[in-house]
Amino acid sequence: MALQEEGASIQEIADKLSLNNFTESIDLSKCFIKVRDINRPALQLTGFYEHFDSNRIQLIGMVEYAYLHSQKDEKERHENYKKLFSYNIPAVIICRGLKPEASFIEEATKAGTPVLGTERATSQFEASLIQLLGYELAPMATIHGVLVDVYGEGLLITGESGIGKSEAALELVRRGHRLVADDVVAIRRVNDDTLIGSSPAVTKYLIELRGIGIIDVKSLYGVECVKDTQTIDLVIKLEDWHSNTEYDRLGLDDEYTEILGQKVVCHSLPIRPGRNLAIICETAAVNHRQKKMGYNAAAELYRRVNENISRNK
């Protein structure tokens, strides 16, 4: 598992939220944000800069805009802008289609701070921005494996190269399930309970089959057979069968693997000729979903056995 550094370019944020760029001379792809939170600089515009979170994106709405333009002295406004941008802000976004004045753009350009705009209402846009930053800046790692959506359960299949991960994924796709990623899975921990997996852009919708090559799942089987992102609910670890190894046959107690500090239920699946991996993986996903809904077949068997023993006594 390879860990990735946190950070997102302002260009990505602008593209995904359809923002206008008022500072066209600044290359947004070279500007980065590394903090999920945002700030509305109301107090700062009045001159109070203690505890100012200058490493956050600054959001200006109607209140901040109205206050700035209530200052009749143009020179005073210019000094306010100059002080604000002296704090090395990553970006400023102005909402409600409001237009910044020339002196605002001038000071932003001098400081190298992008100024962006949106037509959306401030509170509505703020929620979208926080959600996007939460995803883009979440701790991320890449894992060698395959991620498939099976009946709504995110099934991460891992194992040594050539053991049959891609073949199992292809058969699952043929059975009506959806491919998310093959070979490399990018995983983000968006909160304390949720891991979300996706595919790198280079390998999106592609599967490698040894002896055949690269196939495009989206083109061959249709858009209903692929998916961009999926929560990771269950890990299936494929491994070679060894006759002297004991494998869990009941599943009374769940085993776990750790991804980005979060525990995920993990089943080790021994591989030997004649086993249908796709059906086993599909069944594991359904069984896991059933456990989440409150029914455990192994626990039910254990209960029946105990009842039978008690009855015989």
- Report CA torsion sign: 190, 196, 198, 200: positive
Single out the catalytic residue among 72, 249, 272, 313.
249
249 is catalytic: yes
175 is catalytic: no
Single out the catalytic residue among 149, 182, 183, 233.
183
Single out the catalytic residue among 56, 77, 120, 165.
165
Single out the catalytic residue among 16, 82, 144, 218.
144
The region, left, alpha or beta by phi > 0 then psi within -120 to 50, assigned to residue 4 is beta
What token pair was written down for 186? 């990018």
Active site residues: 144, 165, 183, 249
